[in-house]
Homo-oligomer: A and B are copies of this chain.
Amino acid sequence: MTERKTDIGPPHYGQFLHPVIKANYGKWKYHEIIEPGVLLHVSETGDKIYSVRVGSPRLVSTDFVREACDIADKHSQGYFRFTSRHNMEFFLTDLAQLPALKADLAAKGLPIGGTGHSVTSIVHTQGWVHCHTPAIDASGIVKAVMDDLFEYFGSHELPAQVRLALACCLNMCGAVHCSDIAICGVHRTPPKVLHDKLRHLCEIPTTIASCPTGAIRPHPDKSLKSVIVNEERCMYCGNCYTMCPAMPCFDAEKGGIAILVGGKVSNSKTPPAFSRLAIPWIPNNPPRWPEVVAAIRKILTKYAEGANKWERVGEWIERIGWERFFEVCDIPFTFQHIDDYKFQAYDTYRTSMHFKF
């Protein structure tokens, strides 16, 4: 066996660049979107490259990747890439090659789209496939929602791009906090302290420090070497469970899904913005989560109907006002919508007469 290598880092990207990309690196002049999913980039040298964007479930098998490689070998000179939202992109140097590529993709059931004013792939997380804190599954909900919104993946019919993301718990690995529409798994039960396990598994000071609301205190019975939870102050974030496995907060029926809306990341027109709570809870209903699918379609449809050209979801809502958003989407406004989390609450007050009836 060879000497053990460490800290070599990833391979240099240089060896993975398609020849046309390598030749025109840093020289691109402009782009066009020929049709949904098909980008054209034109270089100052006059060179052109076509990129074909293709959806993927992200949670895949090695065979899936090998099949993508087969396609790339056949159509894309053995190069391809993934996007920051987990789509694949194949490169063509001639538009005439497109029909053949399309045919092969169709044969594999792989959709083309995700560019421009579309719904592109949903950034998401592990869920029940591989994580220990989820309130919900990830891939299953994504599949159900994308099946429903499929028409929007391969078209440019929306007023602007719409970015969905899913996180299966409040850790928000899907970074749903800045998405046009965000799906977030939420627990609704305070942790049950398993005193017997806790004393062996957990460090008490770290466990106490993990609680954002200070709901955890040392157990008054010192001999137990455990903690107690002030359930009234617990908002089920699960952070104590992350630090201490003896504090599970799962409940099959009470767990569920919150929908947040109106976040964004780009600086185009308006600055980046957080997603805001639209629906505090929808039941967790596998295998196809019909209530979640319906809620998202409703919001997306109302947005598509109501938004001005170029308006992202959040820009649309800011223009019509949140009171109208809840009205047109027929979403009841609840105590949960009103921020009561420490310092953040302060800035969400309506401190003006600027409201509508």
**Which residues of A are in contact with B by a Cβ distance under 8 Å?**
267, 271-272, 342-344, 346-347, 351-354
Ranked nearest first, the 7 interchain pairs of A and B with the lowest CB-CB distance are A343-B343, A271-B352, A267-B353, A347-B347, A271-B354, A272-B352, A267-B352
Residue from B272, B346, B351, B353 in contact with A344 in the complex, judged by beta carbons closer than 8 Å: B346
Chain B hits for A272, CB < 8 A:
351-352
Instruction: Give the CA-CA distance A352 to B352 in the complex, in Å.
Output: 25
Chain B hits for A271, CB < 8 A:
351-354
Beyond the given pairs A267-B352, A272-B352, 9 more chain A to chain B contacts, judged by CB atoms under 8 angstroms and listed by A's residue number, are: A267-B353, A267-B354, A271-B352, A272-B351, A342-B343, A343-B344, A343-B346, A346-B347, A347-B347
Main secondary structure of the interface of A (DSSP, over half): loop
Chain B hits for A342, CB < 8 A:
343
Instruction: Give the CA-CA distance A108 to B351 in the complex, in Å.
Output: 42
User: Smallest Cβ distance from A214 to chain B, in angstroms?
Assistant: 15
Instruction: Give the CA-CA distance A343 to B346 in the complex, in Å.
Output: 8
User: Smallest Cβ distance from A150 to chain B, in angstroms?
Assistant: 33
Instruction: Give the CA-CA distance A326 to B267 in the complex, in Å.
Output: 23
A271 to chain B: closest residue by CB: B352
Instruction: Give the CA-CA distance A20 to B344 in the complex, in Å.
Output: 51
Chain B hits for A346, CB < 8 A:
343-344, 347
Instruction: Give the CA-CA distance A353 to B266 in the complex, in Å.
Output: 9
Q: Jot down 16 A-B pairs with beta carbons below 8 A, ordered by A.
A: A267-B352, A267-B353, A267-B354, A271-B351, A271-B352, A271-B353, A271-B354, A272-B351, A272-B352, A342-B343, A343-B343, A343-B344, A343-B346, A344-B346, A346-B347, A347-B347
Chain B hits for A354, CB < 8 A:
267, 271
Instruction: Give the CA-CA distance A346 to B347 in the complex, in Å.
Output: 9
Instruction: Give the CA-CA distance A201 to B271 in the complex, in Å.
Output: 53
Chain B hits for A347, CB < 8 A:
346-347
Chain B hits for A344, CB < 8 A:
343, 346
A342 to chain B: closest residue by CB: B343
User: Smallest Cβ distance from A202 to chain B, in angstroms?
Assistant: 29
A272 to chain B: closest residue by CB: B352
A351 to chain B: closest residue by CB: B272
User: Smallest Cβ distance from A78 to chain B, in angstroms?
Assistant: 37
User: Smallest Cβ distance from A35 to chain B, in angstroms?
Assistant: 31
Instruction: Give the CA-CA distance A354 to B271 in the complex, in Å.
Output: 7
